Structure formats: C-alpha cells, structure tokens
Amino acid sequence: MNRGIQNYYRFVDNINSLARIQHILRFSLARTLAAKYKISVKQVFRRFGRNTTIIVKARDGKKDRHVSFYLNSDWTMKRNAFKTNDEKVDLVQMAIRMRSRSKLGKPCCICNSSEQVEMHHVRHIRKVKGKKATGFKAVMSALNRKQIPACKPCHRKIHRGEYDRISLKDLAYDPR
C-alpha cells in the first residue's frame, strides 16, 4: 500500500510530504504487530528489522515468503513517472493544462461578460434523499459541475434565486 501511494504521487511537486504518511504507516504497522505479539514497538523493530520484514510460512512444501514494509529513501520528483516512452515532458503544455482546470479565466457562463468574474460554488450536486435538485443547483447538476464562472451581478442573482428557472439552453455557453 505504501509503495502504491508513493508511486501514484511520484510526479507531484510535493512528493516529500509523503514522508510523513510513510512514517505514520510504518508505526501503525509496528503498533499492530506489537499488539499481536504483546511486545513493545521498540521490540517489534528489534525483532523484524528496520523494514519490518515478516516471514510468512508456506503450506504444501512451497517456499516461505518474505513480506516487508517498503521504506522509500528517494523523495525526488519524477515528472515523467507514468510515461512509457522516452518522450520529454512539455512543461509549457503542462502549465497550460493545469491553468485550464479552473474555469476562472473564462467569461460569465450566463451573460458572457468578462468583467468581475467570480466562481459560483456548490457543496455537492447529488440528489438529497431521492429529491431532485431545485433552482440553479439543478443547472449545476445537469452540467455535472460544482463550480462555474459568473460575473458579480449574475452571481448575486444566483444567490437571490433570480436564476432558479433558467435552463441549460439559456446559458451563454456550456462551461464543461
């Protein structure tokens, strides 16, 4: 599990923050083994080693397996961790993709104004106890978005409930 988490997040900028999670997982394992064998955590590390290697006895004449906790010592970021070929990572293109995740740079999706654009957020868009979403939340649910860009006047109208009867075709553009 520890190795999987670290490999999954290998390409992020703050990979070294996972050192704390590795520490928590390692000592959680040690405390679990200490409770199982009724010994202290210090004795667990003395008995099973720094990597907490456990020998699993095999049945039916098969070889014993050695299972150990993966201790990562290389906390360097690898941007191309998921690349399969030797292709270089285009940092400019990556920055453009990262910036385009948020729709804040887009104009208001209701009136298409680019002045004083804010983000309208909802906590969740799922149905509440079988009831359909009502008001502008129904529009957000149909778009399957939790946030959309709206200019300040339109954002105020959303909160006042003036756009509760608006439909998807009435929007200036589809903000998906």
Measured distance CA(122)–CA(136) in Å, rounded: 10
Mean residue pLDDT of the chain comes to: 78
Rounded to two decimals, the pTM is 0.45
Report the C-alpha gap between 146 and 139 in whole angstroms: 10
Cβ contacts of 112 within 8 Å, gap of 6 or more: 172, 173
**7 and 84 in a common domain:** yes
Residue range 28-67, pLDDT digits in tens = 999 999 999 999 999 999 999 888 888 888 888 788 888 8
pLDDT at 44: 93
Residue 75 identity: W
Q: In which domain, by residue range, is 95 found?
A: 1-101
Q: Average pLDDT of 6-35? A: 85
Residue at 59 is within a domain: yes
Look at the chain and report how many structural domains it folds into. 2
Among the candidates 54, 69, 101, a domain finishes at 101
Does residue 6 share a domain with residue 92?
A: yes
